[in-house]
Amino acid sequence: MPKPVTDNLVKFSTQAAATEHQSHPTFEAYCKARWGMVQQSATRLIRAAEVVKNLKSEPIGSLPATESQARPLTRLEPEVQQAVWEGTKAYL
């Protein structure tokens, strides 16, 4: 099932960065204990949340609804993310 990209993921991203080495020996251990997911899944969600946060900075309308929609944009520079997302919204 696709994982939704919401404001909670941005919060997750901030929390993960802040607590990574404080409460657990590794980021992987933190993800498993706190969120019940492996590090790879957590990293994908964090990157998707960063894309959504970037897209929110411009008034472009709808945002990626799932991590899988945001994932291809994670490889692009922020200003390119916005242009590509604007061009793809009509196809969703």
Say if 2 falls within a structural domain: no
pLDDT at residue number 41 = 87
How many independent structural domains does the chain possess? Answer: 1
Say if 13 falls within a structural domain: yes
User: 0.75 cut: is pTM over it?
Assistant: no
What average pLDDT does range 3-9 have in this prediction? 59
* 3-state secondary structure labels for all residues of the chain: CCCECCHHHHHHHHHHHHHCCCCCCCHHHHHHHHHCCCHHHHHHHHHHHHHHHHHHCCCCCCCCCEHHHHHHHHHCCHHHHHHHHHHHHHHC
Residue range(s) defining the domain that contains residue 77? 7-91
Say if 58 falls within a structural domain: yes
Say if 1 falls within a structural domain: no
pLDDT at residue number 81 = 93
